[in-house]
Amino acid sequence: MYPRLFGHPYLNTFGLCIVIGLVLCFVVGRYYGRVKCAQAGWADFVEFNAYVAIAVGGGVSVFAQSLFFYLKNPEAGFHFSPSATYISGLFGGIASFLVGYFFYGRRRFGPRLVEVAPIIPVCITIAHAFGRLGCFFAGCCYGKDTHSILGVVFPGLGRPVFPTQLFESIFLFLLFGVLAWLVFKKNFYQGMSVYLFAYGVFRFLIEFIRGDDRGALLGGLSPSQTLSLVMIVAAVVLWFVMERMVRDYRANGDLQNKMAI
């Protein structure tokens, strides 16, 4: 692995991958805004709201992981962990984005959520894919022990384990490609439902070979497996919600500069 850049203690590969992922996330979002969003100021609001959502999601991910550790071992007391849980942060970020939209964006620009809903999962997947590469370089989020040719020995472990970070990164890059093609070439508006369902199923399954203990939530399921089930259910519900929102959007004769959805 290569956790440090140039041997400098404050320059780490994980941080570099996160920065690359976030930059590409906003590059994709801005490109979509230029070619799709016609309402003046709307794309700027969406980007600012996304910055806030990322910050909130990061805080929620750390708090949630600390809570999971506490629930597993209450005797140790509650303390903030350096670890984080992605799915909790995702839910926190989405909730923050929706709060910003309904309290300001909708009132200022009208009911335009369906205009940006398709690109959100595309931006998420490219950022997440690079984030998982960062996990691989850092040696965290590793898999269970294995003697197969897929095994990788991370510093400090001293034994071969599944490189689950790479498995997930490859999956996310592929999912990004599919979602980007659907959004930009096919004007597909159900991308978030597809993302939630696909990632929920993948994450639930890959947790069976994850080796870094992140606590427990329900029964023998890991917190991520439990939240993955929530993602799958949310994907089904969101599909029907989006169908209704798109019908209302198309029928709204008062909304100016509408997209061809």
Spatial separation of the C-alpha atoms in residues 214 and 40, rounded to whole Å: 44
Q: 160 pairs with which residues across the strands? A: 153
Q: Which residues contact 200 (CB under 8 A, 6 or more apart)?
A: 228, 229, 230, 231, 232, 235
Mean pLDDT of the chain: 88
Give me the amino acid identity at 202.
F
Spatial separation of the C-alpha atoms in residues 194 and 200, rounded to whole Å: 10
Domain boundaries, the chain: 13-250
Give the 3-state DSSP-derived string for 94-115, with helices as H, strands as E and coil as C. HHHHHHHHHHHHHHHHCCCHHH
And the tokens for 2? Answer: 């290569």
169, 31 contact by CB (below 8 A): no
pLDDT at res. 132: 94
User: Tens-of-pLDDT digits for all 261 residues of the chain?
Assistant: 555 554 555 568 888 899 999 999 999 999 998 887 667 789 889 999 999 999 999 999 988 888 877 777 777 777 777 777 889 999 999 999 999 999 999 999 999 999 999 999 999 999 999 999 998 988 888 899 998 999 998 887 888 999 999 999 999 999 999 999 999 999 999 999 999 999 999 999 999 998 877 666 667 788 889 999 999 999 999 999 999 999 999 999 888 888 877
Q: Where are the alpha helices (DSSP H) in 37-80?
A: 42-72
Spatial separation of the C-alpha atoms in residues 36 and 5, rounded to whole Å: 38
Residue 231, Cα to own-chain centre: how many angstroms?
A: 11
pLDDT at res. 26: 93
pLDDT at res. 141: 85
Name the pTM for this structure: 0.90
163, 150 contact by CB (below 8 A): yes
pLDDT at res. 163: 94
pLDDT at res. 38: 65
